Amino acid sequence: MQTIDKLISAPWILPVEPQGCVLEDHALAIHEGRILDLLPTEEAQARYRPETHRRLERHALIPGLVNAHTHSPMTLLRGLADDLPLMDWLQNHIWPAEGRFVGEGFVHDGTLLAAAEMIRGGTTCFNDMYFFPETTGQVAARAGLRAVLGLIVIDFPSAWAGDAEEYITKGLDIHDRYKGDALLSFCFAPHAPYTVGDDPLRRLATLAQELEIPVHMHVHETAHEVEEAVARFGMRPLERLARLGLVGPSLLGVHMTQLEAAEIRYLAETGAHVVHCPESNLKLASGFCPVQALLEAGVNVALGTDGSASNNDLDLLGEMRTAALLAKGVSGDAAALPAHTALRMATLNGARALGLGEITGSLEPGKSADITAVDLGEPETLPLYDPASHLVYAAARHQVSDVWVAGRPLLRDRQLTTLDLPDLRRRVADWQRRIAAAD
Ligand SMILES: [Zn+2]
C-alpha cells in the first residue's frame, strides 16, 4: 500500500483525453498536487492508502474549466448598461466608467468578485486582459486559481500606463518578477489591431518569441473592424498581423467572427489558436465565429466568456452550451460541435492555446490536480443516460460542488475555502453605490 495525499472517487470521470472517454466508478489518486493515477475505485482502495478519501456519490469529475479569454475586473460593471449598440455601450457607459474608476482598488475587488464566481462555476484557470495585471495576479494567487496574466498593450493612456512603450516596459517587469510562480503564467495582450500600431506589434512579435509566451488579442471581432482596417491599411487585420510576424502557434485570436475560407486554412497551417466567445458575440451582435469550419480545418478552438459587462457572467458551463447550440444553428448541421467537443474546448483546448497543455486541461497522470466535480444527481439532470450530454446541455453552475487546483480545495460542498464572501459583498456594494451614482 502506497501512502498518498488524497483519493477522489466518483461514479463518472470524464478525463477529456482520450477524447470522448467516460470512466465509471473510477478514482483519482493525488499526491503533492499532481494526479498520480486514474483507476477503478476498487483497485485504488487496494493500492493506495490516502490521507483523505473524498467519495462523491452522484458526481462527474471533469478537468477544471479553462476560461481562455476574460477581463475579470469588469465584473464590477456587470449589468451597468445592456441592450445597446456596441459603440453607444462603449463610448457612453463602459469607457467613461473605466476612465473614472479603474485603478488598483477597482482591479483588486473586481478580480476578487470574478475569482469567487469562477470557482463557484468550476473554472480553475483563466486568461485575463486588463490594466494592473499584477494586482489581478495577486488576487488570483490568494484565491488559489491558476491565472494567465495578459500583459496589456494599447496605444491609449490609462491609469496603468501612458503609451505602448510604457505598457510593454511595465509588463516585462511583472513577467520578470513573477515568472517562477507555479500558478501564474503570462501572455502579451495587445488589445486589438485597431488600437495598437505597427511598431509595438512588431516588438511584441519579437518579445513573445524570445520569452516563449503567447500573444492574446481581439481579432476580427466585427465586420466593422475589418472594413475599417481595409480602408485604413489596405488589408484585413489578420493579413496585417501576419505581415508583422504575429500569426503562428503563439497567437490566440479572440472572437474571429469574420473569416474567409482562405483565412481559416491559413490559421490551420500556421497553428494559430482561436478563442470563441459566443455569448459576448451574441449580446453585442458582433457576428458568428465559424467554429465548425475551424475545427474541421484542424484549428485549435478554445472557449472564453469575455468580460462580464458583455456576457454578463463568467459561466463556462453555460458558455459550452451556447457554443454547442450556436454552432449547430450557424452551420445548419445538428451534428456540429457535439458535447464531448464542447467540453474539450472548455478544458484541454484552452490549456493548449495558453501553452499549459502539459500542465492542466485533462485528468491524466503527471498533470496538476485541477479538478471540478459536478453533482449530476439533482432533479435538473435526471435521469442520466450520458454524463457528457448533461454537462453541456442541462447542468448549471449550482451543481458544481467541489473544485481543486493543484490538489488544493477551493470549493468544498459549494463553500468557498479561500475567499471571504461577506467581505466581498461589502466591497462590491461600495463600488455599486459609487458607479451607479456616476453613470
Ligand atoms: Zn474581450
262-280 per-position pLDDT tens digit = 999 999 999 999 999 999 9
> How many angstroms separate the alpha carbon of residue 180 from the centre of ligand 1?
27
> How many angstroms separate the alpha carbon of residue 70 from the centre of ligand 1?
6
For residue 112, the model assigns a pLDDT of 98
> How many angstroms separate the alpha carbon of residue 71 from the centre of ligand 1?
6
63-106 per-position pLDDT tens digit = 999 999 999 999 999 999 999 877 788 889 998 999 999 999 99
The Cα–Cα gap between 142 and 420 comes to: 11
> How many angstroms separate the alpha carbon of residue 24 from the centre of ligand 1?
38
The three cell numbers locating residue 343 = 467540453
Amino acid letter, 333:
D
> How many angstroms separate the alpha carbon of residue 307 from the centre of ligand 1?
6
> How many angstroms separate the alpha carbon of residue 281 from the centre of ligand 1?
10
pTM: 0.98
> How many angstroms separate the alpha carbon of residue 266 from the centre of ligand 1?
23
> How many angstroms separate the alpha carbon of residue 308 from the centre of ligand 1?
10
Q: Is the peptide bond before 383 cis (omega within 30 degrees of 0)?
A: yes
> How many angstroms separate the alpha carbon of residue 142 from the centre of ligand 1?
24
> How many angstroms separate the alpha carbon of residue 6 from the centre of ligand 1?
37
For residue 165, the model assigns a pLDDT of 97
SS (H, E, C) 248-298: CCCEEEEECCCCCHHHHHHHHHHCCEEEECHHHHHHCCCCCCCHHHHHHHC
> How many angstroms separate the alpha carbon of residue 254 from the centre of ligand 1?
7
> How many angstroms separate the alpha carbon of residue 68 from the centre of ligand 1?
10
In this prediction, residue 357 has a pLDDT band, given cuts at 50, 70 and 90, of very high
Centre a 10 Å sphere on the Cβ of residue 156 and count the other Cβ atoms it contains.
13
Average pLDDT, the chain: 97
The three cell numbers locating residue 114 = 470574478
Of all residues in the chain, the percent with pLDDT exceeding 70 is 100
Using an 8 Å Cβ cutoff, are 258 and 360 in contact? no
